[in-house]
Amino acid sequence: MKYFNMAFIAAIFLLLTACACVTGDIQVDANIDPKAKLDGYKSYDWLGTGSLLNDPNKVWQPTTVDVAGDIKYLVDRELRKHKIFSTTSKPDLAVAFFMAVDMEAMELKEDPESKDEVLKNVPKAGLVVVLIDVETGYAVWLGVAEGDIQENPTEEIVRSRLDYAVSKMFKLFPKN
Residue 20, domain member (yes or no): no
Domain count across the chain:
1
At residue 176, the pLDDT reads 62
pTM here is 0.81
pLDDT of 14 above 50: no
The CATH code of the domain that includes 90 is 3.30.160.670
Answer whether residue 166 is part of any domain: yes
In a domain, 128, yes or no: yes
Is residue 98 domain-resident?
A: yes
Per-residue pLDDT tens over the stretch 23-56: 899 999 999 999 998 999 999 999 999 999 888 8
Is residue 1, in this structure, part of any structural domain at all? no
Provide the residue range defining the domain that includes 64.
Answer: 26-171
pLDDT at position 112: 82
Answer whether residue 176 is part of any domain. no
- DSSP secondary structure letters along 9-59: HHHHHHHHHHHHHHHTT-EEEEEE-TT--GGG--EEEEEEEEEEEE-TT--
- Spell out the long-range contacts of 14-20 with Cβ–Cβ below 8 A and sequence spacing 24 or more: 19/160
Q: Is residue 2 part of a domain?
A: no
Identify any residues that bridge with 43 across adjacent strands, giving them in sequence order: 85
**Mean pLDDT over each residue of the chain, to the nearest integer:** 86
In a domain, 17, yes or no: no
